[in-house]
Structure 1
Amino acid sequence: MRNDYLKQAQQKIQDPNILINVVSRRVKQLKAGSKPCVESLEKLSLEDVALLEIIKDKLSYELYDIKKNA
């Protein structure tokens, strides 16, 4: 995983637990055959693709409010 991508993605999603979950879910989607939302001239790992998608605002997420939906 590229450290520079990780640092840039942390500026978009400050909570490390949320960042890990967003990246891991996106990696699962990419492994299942989803097409990347970004292009790169270099060969990137799936984790780096997910981080780059976050950096370029191609991925979003919603927090589920347990109290509200209970």
Structure 2
Amino acid sequence: MRDEYLYAAAKVINDPYILVNVVSRRVKQLRRGSRPLVESLEKLAPEDVALREIIEGRISYELGPIGSK
């Protein structure tokens, strides 16, 4: 995982717990065959693709109501 991508994504999603969850969910999707939402001239790890998608605003998230089942 590239540090510069991690720091840039942390500016977009300030809460580290939410950032970890968003990245891990997207990495699972990419490993299952989902297409990346960003283009790259070099081969990137799924973690770096997910971070770039966050940085470029291609991925968003919503918080559910607290205590929902």
Residue 50 of structure 1 deviates from its aligned partner by 0.0
Q: For the aligned residues, what is the CA RMSD?
A: 1.1
1:36 and 2:36 aligned? yes
Structure 1 stretches of 4+ moved >4 Å: none
**How far apart in 2 are the matches of 1:20 and 1:66?**
19
Q: What percent identity do the matched residue pairs reach? A: 62
Unaligned runs of at least 5 residues, structure 1: none
* Count of residue pairs the alignment pairs up: 69
Query: Where does structure 2 lack aligned partners over 5 or more consecutive residues?
Result: none
Q: With structure 2 as the length reference, what TM-score do the two structures score?
A: 0.95
TM-score (norm 1): 0.93
1:21 match: 21
Q: Displacement of 1:43 after TM fit?
A: 1.0
